[in-house]
Structure 1
Amino acid sequence: MKFEHLVQVNDLADPAQSNLTREEVWFGLLCRAEDPRAFLPGLERCVIRERHEDALVRELHFGGAVVEDRVSYAELQWMRFESAPTAEHAGGSLTISIEEPEPGEVFLRFQYATTLPEAAGQDVQVAEIVRSAYHESDLDTLRVIRMIAESGRLQ
């Protein structure tokens, strides 16, 4: 199953909301790659097994389950998380792209490719539940990025 959605980072019409720069959003995504515990409920620890100029290979420890994934990225543009299916994990990929159609108008595009089959019949309801759960997780990602940016501004 493949799907995507767009999350607005800055609402330029809302003066009460603090706007994030592309660099602040990128830094938050780097934090998600380096230490994703604040972004992934249930994650106990993350071990970086390999480090390359534009990628990381990680072990994510959720209790007794260990998920291995690869994080690749193009600085200030996109980050991709890829994992192979295992007995404990369905596998798939998530690409998060930073889009800025106008200066200061920042969005995050989340693109999922899962190993779940495309929805048909009764599976449509399951697919909608999965999409909704991922969307909530993506909104949480933005909330954590905002907290990281706000804490950095205090220094």
Structure 2
Amino acid sequence: MINPIELVIFDCDGVLIDSERLAVRLHVTVGAELGWPLTEAEVIEKFGRTGIYRYFEGRVFSAGEVARGKPAPDLFLHAARRMGVHPSACVVVEDSKYGVQAARAAGMCALGYAGGLTPARWLEGPNTSVFDDMRELPRLLAGA
């Protein structure tokens, strides 16, 4: 791992919060079926009400901002560049095989979160620590 860490990059969907467009549409559809009709804008606004958004405002980067998505390193390199941090001082928290591959290709350490749908074996590899409980994250970052 690296020392010191200057930037931790979180994959949002599946790691931090289900915020991707597909998840938003799913929230709208399921909500309507349960009698809680919401628009996409209302679902996104509720994300802001969690209090989490203020910590990430201006620091959320999307694959739409780069030429190639994961497993290419473009998105993580873009995030590091925008935040003014060298890739070697970054740690990426990811829950997908292609996301972990992108982090490695960017020259960043990867913390592979296997507490969701992705099997741990898909996340294993060089410069990667795999974990399945978010309570382990502070310890892993402290040891990075």
Same fold (TM over 0.5): no
Q: Which has the higher strand share?
A: 1
TM-score w.r.t. the length of structure 2 is: 0.28
Q: Which has the higher helix share?
A: 2
TM-score w.r.t. the length of structure 1 is: 0.26
Query: Which is bigger in relative contact order (C-alpha 8 A, separation at least 6)?
Result: 1
